[in-house]
Chains A and B, each alone.
Chain A
Amino acid sequence: MKLALLGIAASMALLMTSQTLAADGKAVYNKSCAVCHASLSPKLGDKDAWEPRLKQGADGLVASVLKGQGVMPAKGGNTTLSEADIKAAVEYMLAQLK
């Protein structure tokens, strides 16, 4: 019984953690990314525009955001973002392509 409760608790903790990460990514996106990605390519959810960029993988995209690339300014123009914030936002944006 104790083992089962521990298992449920661990599962819930894992679920809550993943929900927190997803929520953080969305929050970072809404605060710091949406202002551009709502109107500039690649737009959120635009599979065609994202396709050539997916070859970099999530880590490559995070690296691009950290340093800036092309029209994209470093850290999306918000230098207060941490690497974890950016990773969460990238993962959120990639999830919108599924």
Chain B
Amino acid sequence: MQALYAQLLVGLINGSFYALLSLGLAVIFGMLNIINFAHGALYMMGAFVAYFLLNLGGISYWWALLFAPIIVGIFGMILERTMLKFLTGLDHLYGLLLTFGIALIVQGVFQNFFGSSGLPYAIPDQLKGGMNLGFMFLPIYRGWVVIFSLVVCLATWFLIEKTRLGAYLRAATENPTLVRAFGINVPRMITLTYGLGVGLAALAGVLSAPINQVRPLMGADLIIVVFAVVVIGGMGSIMGSIITGFALGVIEGLTKYFYPEASNTVVFVLMVLVLLVKPTGLTGRAA
């Protein structure tokens, strides 16, 4: 039984990464109607930026949590201004393929310069060590990840669902012409939204740098799982993707205990089952 508690907790930790990443995807899909295949590559960039900040600029992990999302977010906004904005009104497929191409380019360039085996990034001194919870040994860093990402997720949800800025955003996706008539710069809002979504991906990258090897392909396999999370939660639903992210982490954790071979596949089983019962995901709107 003790082992099971441990697995649940560990699952929750993984769930926080899924939640952060799927949240970014959901924000982008909700506002831009683009399925951002480059999300994994941008997550990877976040981790790399943290590495460079530390090793070239001597900037610590704590500042990287702030700067890396901003730097990658600006990169994302440039992408949006120069490429993605031309896809407005087109089928989802084109956004998917364009961002897929971007992901290939970004991953290829990083691989070329830094190789495939990656770079080390140490856990910051303040978060080293762990504590014994009785049923498991919990590294302090992992505890930090859960709490921090939960806060970020709720803050993002609040920003979009409860503030005036969020209201504009939501209105702009529903009816851009009308919102523009109120004197609001819709294209700029869209650019900022993409930057926000991308920044969330980069933030997840910084958080994972001390746990996972900082590798060019670290996001490539994750992205498909995160897609599944977003679909299960309902495309574009902010709360849906947060809850599904954490829940999936827990379910995956249990699978790792009972049938570990299937732990990467269980998310797809869930997706099929959910879509059979609820055709647009748990909380989603029609595509």
The answer to whether A and B interact is no
> Which residues from chain A sit less than 8 Å from chain B, CB to CB?
none
